[in-house]
């Protein structure tokens, strides 16, 4: 289960935070986190599109995760 938090909103910008209860990713994988079909858990089900889909509305900007 993930939580979506609106961190900041202005007339021209919206910053959201998406938090889950997962163990996290090692820094080396963060660079690839928004790639479609990238996964840290192969062969465990799912579409492997989670973060890529979340980033779609922001594609014209620079999505970031931390």
- CA torsion angle 26 31 36 37 (round to 10): -30
How many CB atoms neighbour CB 50 within 10 A? Answer: 17
DSSP 58: G
CA 32 vs. chain centroid, Å, equals: 10
* Helices and strands of the chain, counted as H and E runs: 2, 2
pLDDT digits (tens, 9 = 90+) for 6-65: 888 888 877 878 777 877 778 888 778 778 887 777 777 767 677 777 666 655 556 555
């Amino acid at each position: 289960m993930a939580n979506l938090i609106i961190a900041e909103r202005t007339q021209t910008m919206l910053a959201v935070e998406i938090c889950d209860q997962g163990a996290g990713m090692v820094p080396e994988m963060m660079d690839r986190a928004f790639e479609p079909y990238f996964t840290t858990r192969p062969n465990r089900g799912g579409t492997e599109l989670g973060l890529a889909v979340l980033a779609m509305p922001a594609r014209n900007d620079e999505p970031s995760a931390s």
